[in-house]
Amino acid sequence: MSGVSNLLLISSIGALSFIYFILRLIQNRRFYSKLPGPTHSFVWGHLKAMGEASKIFPPNTHPQNLITYLTRKYSLPEIFYLDLWPLGPSQMVIVSGEAAAQISTVRPYPINRYVNELLTPVLGANSIATSNGNLWKKLHHMIGPAFMPRYTKTLLGSIVDETLIFHDSLKVLADKDVFSMEEELSRLLFDINGKIVFGFPLNAQKAGSPILTDLKYLIESFSLTFRTWNYIKKQWVLLKQKAVGDRITAYIGANAKKRFAALKADKEPATSRKASSILDRILLDKIEASNVNLNGKEELEAEYLYMKTLLVAGFSTTVDTLCYTYTLLSKHPEVMKRLREEHDRIFGPDISTTAETIRQYPYKINELDYTTAVLKETLRFFPIGSATKENPPGTNALEYKSRSYPTDGQMIMVSIQTIQLDPRNFEDPTAFLPERHLEPNAASTHRTTWRPFERGMRACLGQDLAMDEMRVILLLTTRWFDLEPVVEPAKKQRVDFTNLDLLIGDQAFQQFRMSAAPRDGMPMRIKSTGRS
């Protein structure tokens, strides 16, 4: 008898679950059928449209490419919706700079809580990249001074030191077999960021580093949890991510305590001491305020999380951009020629003189206008991802151009790539034209439409430092080496929003990792230009 009762109970639960699913499906589909978006199916919502779009691109293509494709295919407006239930969060998508400004600068919207859930296994809970409200304000106030130009310019000497090691590594690779540019740049940027964060070399370029291996695992495994339907495999990845993340946090904590002890032992007042790293800057501020004792129970948990964020995201995003910069330069020799001429004109032809000039006059790097334009144009083609927001408490709609757009329960996504490849925003958007960023009114003209670091109060804190890093690296490499990506150009253009696949094949479509990244480690060949 009990067996029959259990069977009836299970059947009842199953029936109720099915009824709930059907009712939720009907409610969802009715809601989105009335909103702007691609062709909507009462059964599939927009899942079918997304599935068809994904077939056009290489495997694991970053979703921003699908958004750009759908926007063009269906002539979608500045704001539209994607009904992805039950396989994913439904989205309100913004594809214009003016509309994006409404939620980034006019009234800044908070980061979507789903982003914090996704990044917690990688960065830890409530990092500066994912937190909101008073916690974010506290973190921003604490970290912000470490990214002021007057401080970051003092770090250029360390960047030069590590880049010269990278230069020597490229010499060894010249005229040899194919190598991974992503791998080489990862070691360089890890060492640079290690020096900037901790103040001492991590030596990944010379000896390798288990912490770098851990960081790369966190980045590369991020998308695995989205790509597998295997529950056991997904949980295993999440468990491993936590173990790896805990190891990195412990490493940061051990070094913070060691450095704190050294700074505390110094009798010179904290206010008069010069910080040699971001860690020093944070610890000296704490010592001055007399509100931390790392030998006791209190720990710098928020600071650890930020340094972890900087190590994880800071090096990978810069690596991605440099991979594409070298690739685009190799395919546009006239741009490379002008870049090299600028470097010779401002810093002279000799590498030792160039390096010493940067050390002595770090602000001189700001004179590299064309180099900066090359980086900006690369970031226009290959932004590292999209901005993801949610509606502020107490609101349920965005009022824009006399229309009300429901925001409650939506993942609000600003598709940066779509905006930056829109011909209404950039003339001849498929052409690689760095000079467009040198036009007299370029900054004001594109103040809402060029946004790879995002805009407003949630813009990337480290963007100026990242640009300095990339300028120095290009300055100390491009005149001595010719780099050629190992790619298979497409015979036919896949989509209308870019023709780069005719030059660089599948590399034209970034893959989805923690950011939008190059494929297969960006394989390259390198030759020496013969310059001493």
The crossing angle, in degrees rounded to 10, of helices 301-309 and 113-123 is: 90
Which DSSP helix (H) or strand (E) runs through 525? strand 523-528
Q: Which residues, at least 6 apart from 270, have a Cβ–Cβ distance to it below 8 Å?
A: 263, 284, 285, 287, 288
Polymer length in residues for the chain: 532
Residue type present at position 170: L
> From CA 167, how far away is CA 348, in angstroms rounded?
17
Query: Given the structure tokens 């890093």, which residue do they identify?
Result: 469
Edge to edge, the sheet with strand 411-414 lists: 79-82, 91-94, 411-414, 387-389
CA 484 to chain centroid, in Å, comes to 24
Return phi, psi of residue 43, to 5°: -85, -50
DSSP type of residue 412: E
Helix (H, G, I), strand (E, B) or coil at 527: strand
Residue type present at position 407: T
> From CA 191, how far away is CA 203, in angstroms rounded?
6
> From CA 213, how far away is CA 225, in angstroms rounded?
19
Is 80:36 a contact under the CB 8 Å cutoff? yes
For residues 6-44, one letter each, b for 16 or more C-beta atoms within 10 angstroms of the residue's C-beta and e for the rest, the string is eeeeeeeeeeeeeeeeeeeeeebbeebeebbbbebeeee
> From CA 336, how far away is CA 211, in angstroms rounded?
35
Rg (CA), the chain: 25
Helix (H, G, I), strand (E, B) or coil at 76: coil
Query: Which pairs count as long-range contacts for 232-239, CB under 8 Å and 24+ apart, including other chains?
Result: 238/121
Is 256:279 a contact under the CB 8 Å cutoff? yes
Residue 234: Cβ-neighbour burial (10 angstroms; 0-12, 13-18, 19+): middle
> From CA 122, how far away is CA 222, in angstroms rounded?
8
460 is in an annotated binding site: yes
Q: And the tokens for 293? A: 């004792």
Residue numbers belonging to the annotated binding site: 460
Residue numbers belonging to the annotated binding site for heme: 460
